[in-house]
Chains A and B, each alone.
Chain A
C-alpha cells in the first residue's frame, strides 16, 4: 500500500515537472507576444532604424538574417548531405566512419562562441588575408563579412544537416536498394534514383532545422560580420542586376536584439523595439521549427506504416 502511494506521488511529480516546463515555454512566448505585438506594424517590418536607433523599423536586420541563412544553407547542405550519403551508403563500419561520427558528435557540442573565435581566426585572418595577399586586390576578403559569418554558421549547423540526412537515408528500406541493384543499377544510380527521392522529405527537414538554428545564433557572428547599424543594405550591382554582396557587413535580428538591449544609448527607451525584434525572430524560428517537426513526424509515421 505504501509503495502505491509513493509511486503515485512520484509519477505525479514527473507529470507536474513536465507541465512546469511547458508552462515556462508558454510564459516565455506570452511575454514576447505581449511585449512585441503592439510594436509590429508594416512600417516596423519595412522601415530602417531612425532617430539614432530609437525609432523606425528593422528591415535591414530581417534582410540580413534571410541573406545569411540562404548563404549558410547553400554552403552547409551539399557538404552535409554528401557526408551523410557517404556514411550511410558507402562507408560501412570501419575505423574511418567511426572517426567521422565522433567528429560530428563533437562538432555538435562545441560552444558557439568557439565557432566565433574560429571564424575570426581561420576564415577572416587566415583564409581571407591570404586570399588578399595572393589576389593583390587590397583588403577585400580579410575583414568581417557576410561570407565569413555564413561560413562560420554553416560549420555550426553541419551536424544538424548530417544527422537528419542520415536518419532520412536509413529510413529507406533495404529491399528497395536490393531491387535496384538486382536490376543492374550502379551504387550511385541506386542513391540517385532510389534512395534520395524517398529521403527527400527528411533531408528537407534537416535543412529547415539548420536554418532555424543558424538564424537564432548570435555568438558566432559577433566578430565575423555583424554590424550595429548600416546605412545601406548589403547589396551590390552585378552585371546590372542587384545581388547580395557577400563581402559586405550586415545587420541581423538576433544581434540587433543583443546590441539594442545591452549597448544602445537608452535601453529603456528602445525596449519596445527590442520586444518587437524578439517577436519577429521568435516567429521566424518557430515557424521554421514547426514546419520541420510536422514534416518529420509525418515522414516518420508514413515510414512506420510502410513497415508494419
Chain B
C-alpha cells in the first residue's frame, strides 16, 4: 500500500520540495547517547516485536505448504487435473471433478480455479469502474466539504462485515437478480461477483485516490497553464501519471476478490462446475476450504488437499500483493516521491 507522505518537517528541507521523502524521523539519534543496559533491552524487545510480522508470514508459508506438499506426495499429480473413471458401460472417461468424499475421491482443481476466477474477474471489473470513478471524483473533482462527507461514508462501506453482504445476497438480492435477469440458478457466480465488488470498491477507491493525490500539483498547474480544461488535465495528465498506482489498486482489489470467503460461500451456490457462464453456480477455492475443512479428519488425504488449495490461494494472493507493491514502487520512483 502506498504509505502517505509523512508529516512534513518544515525545519529540515526547503519548502519547494513538499513531502519529498519517506524519512523515518528519529533513527540515528540513538547513536549520540550512551546506552544503558535497560535501553538496550527495550530496543531488543521492540526489535523482536517488529520482526514478528516477518515470522508470522514465514509460519503461514511453512504450515500451509507443509500439509500441501503432503497432498502432492500422496495424490498423483494427474488427479489434480482430472480423474479417469469408468462409466456404467465400462468405458473409461476422464472427469474434472472436486469430489473428495466417496470410494473414488476426485481432486481436480480445475472447477475450483474456474469458480474463483469467474467470481473475481467480473467483481474486479465492476468494482474497478466504480472504484476508479470514485477515486477520481474524491481526489480531483469533489469540493472539500463533499469529500469530508463522502469519504467516511465510503470507508464505512469497507467496514460492513462480509458475512452481512453474503447474507443479503443469499436472502434478498439473489431473488431480485433472478427475477430481473431470469437466470437458472438463484445463487450464481454473478451474484457472488456483485457481493464481492461491494467489498472491494472501497479498497480500489482509496488506493486510486492516494495514487492521484501523489501526483505533484506542478503537473496539473502546467496543464492548466497550457490551456487544458479540468477533464483534459485529469484524462491527459493526472490519471496517466498515476496509472501505476491505479493498476496496483486493481491488482490488490483482485487479490481481495480471490480471497473473499463468506460472500462466495453464501452466494455462489457452491456447485463445482467447469464453465465460463457467469450465471451458473460455481464453487471457489475459498468456499471449498470453508465448507469442507470443518468436517474432515486431520491428516487425511482430503485434509491435506484442502491445505494445498489454501497454499495455492496464498501463493496467488501473495504474488498479486508483491506485484502491486513493485508497481507502486515504480510509480514512486518515476514521480520522484
* Interface residue from A11, A32, A254 paired with B231 (Cβ < 8 Å): A11
CB distance from B56 to the nearest CB of A (A): 6
Q: Quick check: B232 and A92 within 8 Å, CB to CB? A: no
Q: Which of A77-85, A130-138, A230-238 contacts B (4 or more CB under 8 A)?
A: A77-85
CB distance from A163 to the nearest CB of B (A): 8
Q: How many interface residues does chain A have, given as a range?
A: 35 or more
Q: Quick check: A281 and B29 within 8 Å, CB to CB? A: no
Interface string of A85-109 (1 = CB under 8 A from B): 1111111110011011011111111
Residues of chain A with a CB closer than 8 A to B60's CB? 110, 114-115, 118, 122
* Interface residue from B66, B161, B256 paired with A285 (Cβ < 8 Å): B161
* Interface residue from B56, B231, B290 paired with A222 (Cβ < 8 Å): B290
Residues of chain A with a CB closer than 8 A to B105's CB? none
Central interface residue in A113, A261, A289, by most chain B CB within 10 Å: A113
Interface string of B211-234 (1 = CB under 8 A from A): 000000000000000000111101
Q: Quick check: A274 and B167 within 8 Å, CB to CB? A: yes
Q: Quick check: A126 and B25 within 8 Å, CB to CB? A: no
Does chain B have a CB within 8 A of A204?
A: no
Does chain B have a CB within 8 A of A174?
A: yes
Q: Quick check: B314 and A17 within 8 Å, CB to CB? A: no
* Interface residue from B159, B172, B293 paired with A117 (Cβ < 8 Å): B293
User: Given A108-B1, A125-B298, does the pair A215, B30 have CB atoms closer than 8 Å?
Assistant: no
User: Given A28-B160, A89-B27, A174-B9, does the pair A111, B64 have CB atoms closer than 8 Å?
Assistant: no
Closest chain B residue, CB of each to CB of A117: B310
Q: Which of A49-57, A66-74, A185-193, A240-248 contacts B (4 or more CB under 8 A)?
A: A185-193
Interface string of B295-313 (1 = CB under 8 A from A): 0001000000011001001
Q: From DSSP, what is the main secondary structure of chain B's interface residues? A: helix
Does chain B have a CB within 8 A of A162?
A: yes
Q: From DSSP, what is the main secondary structure of chain A's interface residues? A: helix
Q: Which of B36-44, B72-80, B81-89, B274-282 contacts A (4 or more CB under 8 A)?
A: B36-44
B: number of interface residues (CB 8 Å): 108
Q: Quick check: A31 and B298 within 8 Å, CB to CB? A: no
Interface string of B132-165 (1 = CB under 8 A from A): 0110111001100000101011111101111111
* Interface residue from B24, B56, B154 paired with A107 (Cβ < 8 Å): B56
Q: Quick check: A90 and B30 within 8 Å, CB to CB? A: yes
* Chain B interface residues toward A at CB < 8 A: 1, 3-4, 6-12, 24-30, 32-33, 35-36, 38-39, 42-43, 45-47, 49-54, 56-57, 59-60, 63-64, 66-67, 129-130, 133-134, 136-138, 141-142, 148, 150, 152-157, 159-168, 170-172, 198, 201, 205, 229-232, 234-235, 252, 255-256, 258-262, 265-266, 286, 289-290, 293-294, 298, 306-307, 310, 313-314, 317-318, 320-322, 325
10 A-B pairs with the lowest CB-CB distances in the bound complex, closest first:
A111-B259, A216-B161, A7-B231, A92-B27, A82-B49, A86-B50, A17-B133, A86-B46, A289-B159, A219-B261
| Subset of 10 A-B contacts with CB under 8 Å | A8-B231, A86-B46, A90-B30, A103-B56, A103-B57, A111-B314, A113-B310, A113-B313, A116-B290, A303-B7
